[in-house]
Amino acid sequence: MKKLAFILVANFASLNSFSQDSTFPSSQIGVSYLGLGDNDAIHLTSLDGAASYSGRGYYGIQIDYFRSLNKVLTLETGVGLRNHEFTVHPNTGPHVDDTGREFNTSLLVIPVGLRVNFLKYAFISTGALVTTSLSHQEEIADQNGIGFNLGLGLKYDFQSGVGVYVNPFMAMHSAISLTKENYPERITEGGLKVGLTYQLH
């Protein structure tokens, strides 16, 4: 009986120790910069006589939150700002000046996504982007709606709790548009997301 009691106590102690040493689920907060790439504004349907757009660049900053469920799956969300610069070119005749008009538009973006981690330092990221236009421009439709992003990245976590990552990505805002326009433009972006994280627990 004493031997059985000893085995039960030992097993309980080992299980308790294992649960305390387990690092999942765990949380990280972070800040990131997005840019160093290209942007565009497109119609999903070909339209005769529609204006065309050329992107002049973009940048963004974002506050991030990550929740690691296990070694493979990590939920991610946050809130960020994007600033996009464009030139709009009206569809004009062959002898009309087509220098275009430059304009900027700002977006509030809430990502809701998933990371799939592999090979210890690599990950695939994908998810939805809930976007709202902060500036209303006559040159382009508001980007209110749900978009998506897809990326592939590398990360490294230091023992201090600080982590870094680099995430090349592509994204489309307002793929599902919530505006009242029949043929709204969608803003696309591609580039790098570079971030710092800190382990909460």
What pLDDT was estimated at residue 181?
Answer: 81
Average pLDDT, the chain: 84
Class at the top of the CATH hierarchy for domain 23-199: mainly beta
What pLDDT was estimated at residue 149?
Answer: 96
| Cβ neighbour number for residue 81 with a 10 Å cutoff | 15
Q: Is 16's pLDDT higher than 70?
A: no
Average pLDDT over residues 11-25: 46
User: Any idea where the domains of the chain sit in the sequence?
Assistant: 23-199
Q: What is the pLDDT of residues 38-86, one digit of tens each?
A: 999 888 876 666 677 778 899 999 999 999 999 999 999 999 999 999 9
Q: Report the candidate in 117, 131, 120, 21 with the shortest Cα–Cα distance to residue 67.
A: 117
